[in-house]
Structure 1
Amino acid sequence: MALVCEASIPVSSGFIQTRNSHFLLNGSPFLFNGFNSYWVMHVAVEPSERYKVTNVFREASAAGLMVGRTWAFSDGGYQALQTSPGVYDERVFQRVLTRINRVSGVAYKDDPTIMAWELMNEPRCQVDYSGKTVNGWVQEMAPFVKSIDNKHLLGIRMEGFYGDSVQDRRQYNPGYEVGTDFITTNLVKEIDFATIHAYPDAWLPGQNNDAQMAFTQRWLTSHWTDSMIILKKPLIFAEFGKSKKSPGYSISARDSFLNTIYTNIYNLARQGGTIGGGLVWQIMAEGMESYYDGYEIVLSQNPSSTSVIAQQSNKMTALEHSLTSPQGKLNSRPHY
């Protein structure tokens, strides 16, 4: 499972909820800029390394990042969720959901500082490109999770690939499929919000920057439209980044990529809601070279990227405030 935490929201606040295609906190619109740090669980188990978790959350909060997402599972080994390929231990789901926080004394399922759970990271089934196999799994697991914890939002953490349900949408896939169906599976009633990812440098290798960015903008717009009109659920741009391993990489190129993504997220959120925010992949602490995947951003070492991220945080916060009336409820402006 993946855990999506609110990095800076007080414990006394209520749970994040949805209404139609909006995220709400205490009845008011909730918009955010966030980050991925999948490695938190692995580092936190080592007492000598835990300071890195603290440093990342401190730096992220300073940059206005309100939501942090990490992984709460492992494959193989001690207390693994996936004990062997395709074999899962349901008790691990229950242990995560019911675990008592040693600091606060609150069970995770009762903790409002957790925004949402996600069933898996990037589910794929390349022996069934229709998406029906993954869809069946979600139909089984989503009610199971909700039976243990019905307070938190639940997502899937899909990348956004289209399957059989709406044939003309397949044109937006990056030239291949992974056995998921963005529309059908996100329509499962226990799923509260949709997600997409985009790694155009990896998905469209050999294409120039303009072509990759054009794809990404079409990808985001098509999923925003489907989330608003068909799903009627909020959307999170849950992973995006530019790798140092890509041809022509530079920090300025990465900053330009992030700025373009952020501008698209902001403009779509301003037009009519639906998209709640984005989570950049990925933020790391100093001294974590063994975890580097090419997409890492160390905020303390990358002032220009930190500035781009902080500007987006400020814009999303200002937009959230503009959507709220003095009474703290959604104002009267039209929403889709």
Structure 2
Amino acid sequence: MEGRHRPVVAREFVMLLLLLLLGLSASGFGATAVYGGGGVGFVRRNGTQFVVDAAGGGRKPLEGINGFNAYWLMYKASFPEERWKVRAAFRDAAAHGLTVVRTWAFRDGGFRPLQASPGVYNEDVFQGLDYVISEASKYKIRLILSLVNNFDSFGGRRQYIEWAREAGHCLSSDDDFYTDNIIKDYYKNHVKAILTRVNTINGLSYKDDPAIFAWELINEPRCVSDLSGITLQGWIEEMVEYVKSIDDNHMLEVGLEGFYGESTPNRKKFNLIYDMGTDFISNNLVKGIDFATVHVYPDEWMPWSTNQTQMAFLDGWLRSHIADADAVLSMPLLVSEFGKKHSPASSSSSNGRRRSRRKAVGDERQSVYASVYDAVYASASGGGACRGGLFWQLLLGEEAMDDMRDGYEVVFSESPFLEHLIDMQSRRLNNLSDYRPCSMPRTLLAKFSEHNVSPKSAELGLICANMSVLQSPIVNENYQ
């Protein structure tokens, strides 16, 4: 009986709040507004800004970027019967103002590889990548394409090591990826194969396609066998020169998580206990690197810390890197991966405890998103270096994608409050001069939770449209 009537009560409660707190209005908006994609040409760096080659000549600023990660796009698109998932993801993304996606342009060895062995490619998978790039452009979404993985998921450095061993090379660790000449040749050949690929759908060479936002040398490089950073620095310098010798149309970034190194020992305090052989400053100062990146997962990096401690770390991590991108690097910065898991309590807990834990984790998750988004907006709106953030990861609410779930996924139909935050970030970045950020008071959010109401995004949008006179950041009152 209670469950049967709850939807009616929830809807009446939402409408009552709208009437009492906001008044009737016809100016509300839902979460389905489609945003423009800027100019028609390549995106380039101009100081700490991104600019776009415009149709009539000249360039115009790309003020802010709201984006997402979806590593699975090429793989799903390699099956023609699964391409609808790629279309649906891009449609959902565009409807929420997401304009950049970061995804893999690698799948080395193993099941259904892109690169089955050095220089040998699976055409079906390559055509899947063709489809991803072509389809993204239809939705005015640009792509950051990562060229290899540091980890052994989807092959990565370890697969290159195995290929070299099969060719008779004696290698001691995965870090030989950065120094062994045959492996460096394997990598360069892969880079060339990707950059010079002619798309079978739109006829454009990848290096000539403005739908590509940038290339990424490697996802989350690490070299723990040389904590001085010299090994990785040398590899970056060599590979940047090689990539730029083939393609000077597109921007290039390293793929860094953001750990500081020996060039700035006073900044290493922000690394927690991590020392990865990378150097956020010197790696990004390599000639030919166009913008810097950071990743941040407070719960993954500090699993035994309280949420308060994790949030304090997040704040310091973002502040330090934004300050260094502004003052030291003088280049744009993207938070190219961030997220927080939504893992519920174990099944051994009582139903009440499970509900309480899910709510707590949901609130903490919203806090992470809101904090990142506020840091991005504060920098971008003030002309600073941090130009955008890309959450990990967007999925569809389909059972067929359950194998892609990792606890960090965002499914819009399952996460109305996150959907709202993402949509509102897109809106305020879309027009930095006119947008007034939405800030729902703590009391209103508390009322939703108290009555176990999960309002639809259109209702949240209507609330925020009527409360747009509030100028405080998203995170300021709601999620601390």
The two structures share one fold, judged by TM-score above 0.5? yes
2:264 maps to 1:193: no
**Are 1:59 and 1:300, in contact at CA under 8 Å, matched by a contact in 2?**
no
2:84 maps to 1:84: no
2:256 maps to 1:228: no
> Match for residue 275 of structure 1?
386
2:141 maps to 1:28: no
2:238 maps to 1:140: yes
- Per mean C-alpha deviation after superposition, the further-off stretch among 214-223 and 19-28 is 19-28
Residue 277 of structure 1 aligns to a residue in which SS?
strand
Partner Cα distance (2:243, 2:321) in 1? 25
Q: 1:89-127, CA deviations, whole angstroms, 9 ceiling, x for partnerless residues? A: 222211111112222111110011111111010000111
Partner Cα distance (1:234, 1:142) in 2? 17
Q: 1:231-276, CA deviations, whole angstroms, 9 ceiling, x for partnerless residues? A: 1111001100001238755333322321121111111222232111
**Are 1:36 and 1:279, in contact at CA under 8 Å, matched by a contact in 2?**
yes
Deviation at 1:291, TM superposition (A): 1.1
Partner Cα distance (1:173, 1:276) in 2? 22
**Are 1:163 and 1:180, in contact at CA under 8 Å, matched by a contact in 2?**
yes
> Match for residue 423 of structure 2?
310
Partner Cα distance (1:25, 1:229) in 2? 24
Bigger Rg over Cα = 2
- Per mean C-alpha deviation after superposition, the further-off stretch among 73-82 and 236-245 is 73-82
Partner Cα distance (1:97, 1:28) in 2? 26
Higher relative contact order (CA 8 A, sep 6+): 1
> Match for residue 41 of structure 1?
74
**Are 2:379 and 2:387, in contact at CA under 8 Å, matched by a contact in 1?**
no
Q: 1:277-330, CA deviations, whole angstroms, 9 ceiling, x for partnerless residues? A: 0001110123311011110111233222111100000011111778xxxxxxxx
> Match for residue 198 of structure 2?
100
**Are 1:195 and 1:238, in contact at CA under 8 Å, matched by a contact in 2?**
yes
- Per mean C-alpha deviation after superposition, the further-off stretch among 247-256 and 161-170 is 247-256
2:366 maps to 1:255: yes
Relative to structure 1, is the Cα distance of residues 320 and 129 closer, same or farther in structure 2, using a 3 angstrom cutoff? farther
- Per mean C-alpha deviation after superposition, the further-off stretch among 133-142 and 21-30 is 21-30
Structure 1 length-normalised TM:
0.89
> Match for residue 218 of structure 1?
316
- Per mean C-alpha deviation after superposition, the further-off stretch among 280-289 and 78-87 is 78-87
Superposition pairs of residues 146-157 of structure 1, within 5 angstroms: 146-157=244-255
Q: Larger helix proportion, structure 1 or 2?
A: 2
Give the counterpart letter for 2:88 in structure 1.
N
Deviation at 1:39, TM superposition (A): 1.0
1:265 paired residue among 350, 373, 376 = 376
Gaps of 5+ in 1: 1-6, 323-336
Relative to structure 1, is the Cα distance of residues 321 and 177 closer, same or farther in structure 2, using a 3 angstrom cutoff? farther
Partner Cα distance (1:23, 1:193) in 2? 9
Partner Cα distance (1:268, 1:174) in 2? 24
Give the counterpart letter for 1:293 in structure 2.
D
1:127 paired residue among 225, 244, 258 = 225
Structure 2 length-normalised TM:
0.63
Partner Cα distance (1:123, 1:75) in 2? 16
Residue 297 of structure 1 aligns to a residue in which SS?
coil
Gaps of 5+ in 2: 1-34, 54-58, 117-147, 149-156, 162-176, 178-182, 346-356, 436-480
Partner Cα distance (1:108, 1:299) in 2? 31
2:397 paired residue among 286, 290, 293 = 286
**Are 1:237 and 1:278, in contact at CA under 8 Å, matched by a contact in 2?**
yes
Query: Matched residues, percent identical?
Result: 44
1:19 paired residue among 42, 46, 53 = 46
> Match for residue 28 of structure 2?
none
Partner Cα distance (2:209, 2:311) in 1? 38
Root-mean-square deviation (CA, aligned residues, Å) is: 1.9
**Are 1:41 and 1:71, in contact at CA under 8 Å, matched by a contact in 2?**
yes
Partner Cα distance (2:257, 2:433) in 1? 26
> Match for residue 4 of structure 1?
none
**Are 2:232 and 2:277, in contact at CA under 8 Å, matched by a contact in 1?**
yes
Relative to structure 1, is the Cα distance of residues 126 and 43 closer, same or farther in structure 2, using a 3 angstrom cutoff? same
**Are 2:297 and 2:339, in contact at CA under 8 Å, matched by a contact in 1?**
yes
Partner Cα distance (1:167, 1:112) in 2? 39
Partner Cα distance (1:283, 1:126) in 2? 31
2:298 maps to 1:298: no
2:95 paired residue among 57, 62, 85 = 62
Give the counterpart letter for 1:35 in structure 2.
F
> Match for residue 327 of structure 1?
none
